[in-house]
Amino acid sequence: MTDLELLFLVLVVIYGWECAGWLPRGSLGFVNWLGPRWRLKQVPNLLGNQKGGFIFASPLPPLGAICVATPMPLSLSPCSVLAFVAPNLNNGPRPQQSGKLISFTALRTVHVQGRELLLNGDLFLKTSTPTFAEYLASILRQLRDAAPETRAQKIDQMLKASLDARALQKRWADFQARSNTVRLLTNSLFFYLFAFAPGLIWAVGLAQCWLALLVGVFILTLATALCFRLVHKEFYPAAEDERFTHFITILLSPATAIRARDVLSRPLLETFHPLAIAQSFCPETEFLAFARKVIIEFRHPALPLAPGQDEVAREAEESFRSTFRRLIEKFLKQNGVEVEQLTRPPDPADDSCLSFCPRCEAQFTSRLGSCPDCGGLALVPFPSPNRSSTARRK
């Protein structure tokens, strides 16, 4: 292998790495490869750990897009805020949660440092992105400053906004219109690096064209970085530090510049619930499967429902989950989904199965008991005549 071939191999490897995106556990990815179809991505088992995993954007033109959605990581009640939520929309265990609790009467200051949400100067929660941390901070400031009797209404309005499919689709349409130049430049840079440059070198030799190729790469990366900065400032005006970091990285790395639109799209819809994104973008079968998981998680989350034995924490979790569940079921009904039909229990696998777990739907040969995989959640008997059997897992 010649030095030039090795150089292109290194470029391909770097570009492949840029196509990978880290998905924190607790978040969900939405990836568009070809055409209008999107796929919902969970944290993978092979390329992940207890904190998250890698998902991949489309490596080939037209390069597609990637969005990451994080369900609300706080349980909000009119009296307090809890850094813990019982529903887990990811496969596998719950993401790590601090379980910290603070009342709104004791909440004095709300600050953001990068991805960290600080309440009264102490770390309360680490979020997936700085922009999501700012979003949560704005919610907490509004609730802190609101009259206690109006907080329940404000929480309701915030949750409704996260399920607003029209606002979601409008934001995405605005992004597509205003990022067209970035998309054109990134696709042009891809063809320049991986098609035009190798072809020209093969035709005339590196010694004859290296300077012209270098100038071309610089022009394309500079144009991409400048357009990226304009679009980023329009959609994320408060993220000045993050914008500067990405601008410099794109300017200095052509492989990174090709993925500039991913950097813009990734946090674009993070204030919306993943269910609203799935309803707007994903095929119907995938949306319904995810909707079933969401409803089951809100109705029958794994135990424990709150950390420790604090009664205020349990009340905050229960209040928030019941409010959100009501709005989610209303959202599904407005979109023509029969919720009870969607969540009907499974049929027994055979005559020996007498009960099932309402969350994971594992089946058991005893009518009474609990599911060890769901924290000891009580089993639900099948509607059949009483039969006795030793308890064993199917």
Q: State how far the Cα of 269 lies from the Cα of 162, in Å rounded to an integer.
A: 9
Give residue 171's identity as a one-letter amino acid code: R
Nearest to 349 by CA among 384, 318, 304: 384
Q: Which residue ranges make up each domain of the chain?
A: 3-69+168-265, 70-164+272-344, 345-394
Q: What's the pTM value of the predicted model, to 2 decimals?
A: 0.91
Residue 390 has pLDDT above 70, yes or no: no
Q: State how far the Cα of 338 lies from the Cα of 358, in Å rounded to an integer.
A: 18
DSSP H helices, the chain, are 3-18, 130-145, 151-162, 165-178, 180-191, 197-204, 206-235, 240-252, 254-258, 260-265, 274-281, 284-299, 311-334, 339-342
Structure tokens at 283: 């095929």
Q: What is the pLDDT of residues 286-344, one digit of tens each?
A: 999 999 999 999 999 999 998 887 899 999 999 999 999 999 999 999 999 999 999 99
Residue 376 has pLDDT above 50, yes or no: yes
pLDDT band at 372, cuts 50/70/90? very high
Instruction: Share the mean pLDDT of the chain.
Output: 92
Average pLDDT over residues 243-261: 96
Residue 216 has pLDDT above 90, yes or no: yes
Residue 393: per-residue pLDDT = 42
Nearest to 154 by CA among 312, 273, 320, 335: 320
Residue 385 has pLDDT above 60, yes or no: no
Bridge-based pairing state of the strands 20-24 and 52-56: antiparallel
Q: 17-31, 44-58, 297-311: lowest mean pLDDT where?
A: 44-58
